[in-house]
């Protein structure tokens, strides 16, 4: 029986703590805020971020960094922009060759690094893996059938993560293409924003299908340029995650897009969603990476124009539709 520490008590971190307990592990759930840890501990429920899902009485809830010393495996479940700080903070407690699993989806602004690279820079003694795929916290919390991917360059690490998380209702596949799995998870958030904007503007299924399909093409082009395998984007961490994020109201990226499409400002949108919207946080990094590698990503470009240049969303759609004629591939 493993002891697994989940760093971050948002909706996904809480759901994974519940899932890890179902899988037979000892679980520590770490919260950044003392009052939040106390509330979860008292109620055995994260009423702010995952209401209605009860935590097993044996799940340890804490805000003390040193409590993770007892863990065999660490799971980082914090917004992407906090991953470096959290990795640096917990590095002293990570043992040689200990597995650290990242479940945040994004790129680091500035460095343009994948989050596993960020973790490895701050915790060089660890073995790193990522967990990604179509998996809403609300549904995992309710033990609905879910399939996901554990990725690491080290097959033994991927298999150990698979064995740690897997249950009859939580199927875990392994993959050695960590680049593709991470980029699929990070970049689909931008496309989900675009899909939500389309919904908010009142466009139909044709529009959304076009955005999702051409969005996947953009993700694949950038990913393969960085060394990912094209077939990864046809799997759970690619098209699977794209589908669920672009079509579900559980998706905070789609919800944010809908509000933007309805004419709300970025600030009003983020205030109403009330959770981190990774597509907004990572739009600049994705666009900068595409420029650095000279990869044409028009949807990503227009999302940045809407978010940070104040461009009208309907004008952005028109400009996408009236670009120069090209072949599909």
- The residues annotated as belonging to the active site are 188
- Tokens 């890890």, residue? 20
Separation of alpha carbons 7 and 28, rounded Å: 8
- Residue 325 DSSP class: P
Separation of alpha carbons 45 and 42, rounded Å: 8
Separation of alpha carbons 102 and 150, rounded Å: 10
What angle is formed at CA 88 by the lines to CA 87 and CA 93, rounded to 5 degrees? 80
Separation of alpha carbons 159 and 151, rounded Å: 9
- Residue 95 DSSP class: P
Percentage helix, strand, coil, to 5, in the chain? Answer: 55, 15, 30
Under 8 Å between Cβ of 185 and 241: yes
């Amino acid at each position: 029986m493993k002891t697994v520490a989940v760093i971050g008590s948002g909706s996904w971190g809480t759901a994974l703590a519940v899932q890890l307990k179902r899988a037979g592990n000892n679980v520590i759930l770490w919260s950044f805020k003392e009052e939040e840890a106390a509330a979860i501990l008292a109620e055995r429920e994260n009423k702010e971020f995952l209401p209605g899902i009860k935590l097993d009485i044996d799940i340890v809830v804490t805000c003390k960094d040193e409590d993770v010393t007892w863990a065999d495996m660490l799971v980082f479940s914090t917004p992407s922009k906090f991953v470096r700080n959290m990795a640096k903070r917990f590095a002293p407690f990570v043992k040689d060759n200990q597995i650290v699993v990242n479940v945040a989806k994004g790129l680091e602004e500035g460095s343009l690094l994948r989050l596993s690279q960020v973790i490895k820079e701050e915790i060089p003694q660890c073995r790193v893996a990522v967990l990604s795929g179509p998996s809403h916290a609300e549904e995992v919390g309710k033990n609905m059938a879910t399939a996901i991917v554990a990725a690491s360059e080290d097959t033994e690490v991927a298999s150990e993560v698979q064995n740690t998380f897997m249950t009859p209702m939580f199927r875990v596949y392994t993959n050695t293409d960590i680049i593709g799995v991470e980029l699929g998870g990070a970049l689909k958030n931008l496309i989900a924003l675009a899909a939500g904007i389309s919904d908010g503007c009142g466009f139909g299924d044709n529009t959304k299908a076009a955005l999702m399909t051409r969005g996947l093409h953009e993700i694949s082009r950038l990913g393969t340029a960085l060394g990912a395998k094209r077939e990864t984007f046809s799997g759970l961490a690619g098209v699977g995650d794209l589908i669920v994020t672009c079509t579900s109201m559980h998706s905070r990226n789609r919800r944010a897009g809908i509000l933007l499409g309805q004419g709300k400002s970025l600030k009003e949108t983020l205030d109403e969603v009330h959770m981190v919207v990774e597509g907004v946080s990572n739009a600049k990094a994705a666009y900068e990476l595409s420029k650095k590698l000279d990869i044409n990503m028009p949807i990503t470009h227009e999302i940045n124009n809407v978010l940070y240049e104040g461009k009208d969303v309907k004008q952005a759609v028109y400009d996408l539709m009236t670009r120069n004629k090209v072949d599909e591939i």
